[in-house]
Amino acid sequence: MSEPRRVRLFSGGAQVVAHTLRPTDAQPDISDEVRGILESVRQLGDNALVAQAIAYDCPEFSHDRLRVPRRTLEDAARTAPAAFVAAVREAAAQVRAVAEALMARDVDLVLDHGQRIRVRAMPVDSAGVYVPGGRAAYPSSLIMGAVPAQVAGVGRIAIATPPRPDGRPAAAVMAAAAALGIEEVYAAGGPASIGALAYGTATIAPVAVVVGPGNRWVQEAKRQVAGVVGLDGVAGPSEVLVIADDSADPELVAADLLAQAEHGADSPAVLASADHALIDAVAEILGRSPDVVGAVTLVECASLPLALELAEAFAPEHLQLNLRDAAAVAEGVRRAGAVFIGRNGGTAFGDYVAGSNHVLPTGGAARFASALGPATFMRRMAIVEMPQEAVDALTPHLAALADVEGFPQHRRSAELRVTP
């Protein structure tokens, strides 16, 4: 690979350096093209999906290929290597355990004036999980999207994933779906599939929530259907920031950076350290690694606190703390999608089998967003009961607020219920 980029951060300026760590090349605006694809799905339904598949995936694609038969899914699971099926089930078990621990619970309160507020946590009735295709198969994305939906209690889970040249989705994705008991799988990819999940077609019924990673075309489609359906978020390229001190193993640090870099050329893989020797050692290892896809940046910081300041400014999707006191330092982290601590805290474990979800906020969204989980597929609904004593006590306050806001009928609605 080419020599990794090196940056020095001596004092202040963490926000500026954080900005430069993400790709800055201007990307062409694809919003109009995506809008056109979504509109074609609205107007033409299945015909638009078939046309997109013929153009980009399978020249011989036809309508009968859209819904993958259950038998095809089962055949894929039966013929898949046993080790792969076992890995899918083990990874799903870990993700399921964490998701179950995160499940929302109903809340039942009686407040000071006697009114009862019961807030129910309920799953949405349907969810669509997009699983990228392209040049590779990503069964792990199916696990991360579908398992929390199952835990939430979603009754219908639909998988959309691009067809291969043979007209079927990747065998690994079909096998993973069967292993998880998912029967609704569609050979549909790209922005058109997001439109189908949001608007519905003759073959694909619309869903309430759409989740899953994908390229910028898929993410732009998600952005445009937001409000028609719920979303897990709009994701950018994957990213990792590793903060390490002189106790870190350079080989492990380099391996973790390389693992992130293979996500693609636009995936930031960053090391921040105050230890000059570690920076040099990692640079030397990276310099003799021939199979690197993306760029790596090494940031030499004047101190560990400055490296942590950089992390807070960057708000990375993945933050690794390869430090002596990593657990203690992690307690102070406020802006990261997921934090991996200690010598064995490689981000790769989170991508597959640790149990944390790998669908995480990117591009600084960790300032306000969280990982995909069962809450993504749930909504809360309040049930309000107003006994007479609450009406009598609270109506004067309602009236005062309604008067300020110019809503006299709100005031009247309440006052008609006051005890004479």
**Catalytic residues, which ones?**
317-318
Range 340-349, long-range pairs (CB < 8 A, 24+ positions)? 343/248, 343/249, 343/252, 345/320, 345/321, 346/252, 346/255, 346/256, 346/259, 346/320, 347/240, 347/256, 347/259, 347/260, 347/318, 347/320, 348/256, 348/259
User: How is residue 23 written in tokens?
Assistant: 């790709």
Cβ–Cβ < 8 Å for 160, 198: no
Quote the CA–CA distance of 418 and 415 in Å, as a whole number.
5
* Residue 181 one-letter amino acid: G
User: How is residue 361 written in tokens?
Assistant: 């906020």
User: How is residue 80 written in tokens?
Assistant: 């898949």
Cβ–Cβ < 8 Å for 171, 252: no
With 0-12 CB in 10 A as exposed, 13-18 as middle and 19+ as buried, what is 118? Answer: middle
Cα–Cα separations (whole angstroms), residue 90 to 83, 179, 348: 10, 11, 15
Cβ–Cβ < 8 Å for 298, 283: yes
Helices first, then strands: H and E counts in the chain: 16, 14
